Amino acid sequence: MSEGTYEYECMRAELLGIEKPSYDEFIAKKVENEAQLVEEENLDTENLKTVDHQEEGLKKVSGGLEELNVILQKTQGKLNRLKASCGSLTNLLRIKMGGKSSVETPLESEFDQPEESHIEPSLNDHASGDTVEDFDAKEDNKISARKNDLAKALDKDLSRLDTMIEKAENAQYSMSHQRKQMNKFLD
């Protein structure tokens, strides 16, 4: 006698000392449970589609942040070359003009941007080697597999968001540092 059958529910009620369910109540409850499972399956499917759509958007934003960081690195190199060639000339002109008696240092240490750390999400695959003959148990396995897929997709998106936040922080730091350097040139 397998779980989920009318006979099983009657035996269970008898053992627990509660009233046996009528056959109509049992069928109505089973239909309600099946409808709820179908609704959950549809909701999980919609959630997976949403996650896939958001993943595409995250890839675009991540690529844009990466491009911004590359541009900032190139700008930093140009600023360093400008400092090397014009820094001493500016100081020489100031000394010749008699404007300032103190000599500024023409070169600052080159701005080193920290390397990006690529965080790979850890995916734990749960494979069950048990052979399950009961239909309800198979449905539970399908539901848990869908839930695992959704959880994996969300973990992957969180890792991507962490990487994007790191790239954005690097870009913000680089822009701030370069702005300060340009202001020093203009002063």
pLDDT recorded at residue 39? 93
pLDDT recorded at residue 42? 92
Stated pTM of the model: 0.45
The arithmetic mean of pLDDT across residues 138-162, rounded, is: 76
pLDDT recorded at residue 90? 63
Q: Are 174 and 65 spatial neighbours (Cβ–Cβ below 8 Å)? A: no
Please state the length of the chain: 187
The larger pLDDT score, comparing residue 43 to residue 153, is at: 43
Could you tell me what percent of the chain has a pLDDT over 90?
Answer: 6
How far is residue 186's CA from residue 128's CA, in Å, rounded to a whole number?
67
The arithmetic mean of pLDDT across residues 24-30, rounded, is: 90
pLDDT recorded at residue 147? 76
Dump pLDDT digits (tens) for 61-117. 888 888 988 998 998 888 888 777 766 556 656 666 765 444 444 443 334 444 444
